[in-house]
Amino acid sequence: MEQMEQMEQTRTEKATFGAGCFWGVEAAFRQLPGVVSTQVGYAGGTLENPTYRDVCSDHTGHAEVVEVTYDPARVAYDDLLRVFWENHDPTQVNRQGPDVGTQYRTVIFYHSPEQQAVANASKVELESAHKYRRPIATQIVPAGPFYRAEEYHQQYLEKRGLSTCHI
Segments forming the whole domain that contains residue 58: 11-159
Region 5-16 average pLDDT: 76
Distance of alpha carbon 29 from alpha carbon 19, whole angstroms: 12
Catalytic residue status for 56: no
- Please give the backbone phi and psi of residue 128, each rounded to the nearest 5 degrees, phi first: -65, -25
**pLDDT band, residue 1 (cuts 50/70/90):** very low
166 within some domain: no
Region 36-59 average pLDDT: 94
pTM of the full predicted structure? 0.88
Distance of alpha carbon 162 from alpha carbon 126, whole angstroms: 30
> Of 15, 19, 21, 25, which one is the catalytic site residue?
21
The number of distinct structural domains making up the chain is 1
Distance of alpha carbon 65 from alpha carbon 53, whole angstroms: 15
Q: For residue 42, give the CATH number of its domain.
A: 3.30.1060.10
2 within some domain: no
5 within some domain: no
Looking at the DSSP bridge assignments, the partners of residue 17 are 66, 108
SS3 159: helix
**Is the pLDDT assigned to residue 86 strictly greater than 90?**
yes
Strands 13-19, 106-110: pairing kind = antiparallel
Task: Give ∠ CA 56-61-65 in degrees, rounded to 5.
Answer: 70
**pLDDT band, residue 98 (cuts 50/70/90):** confident
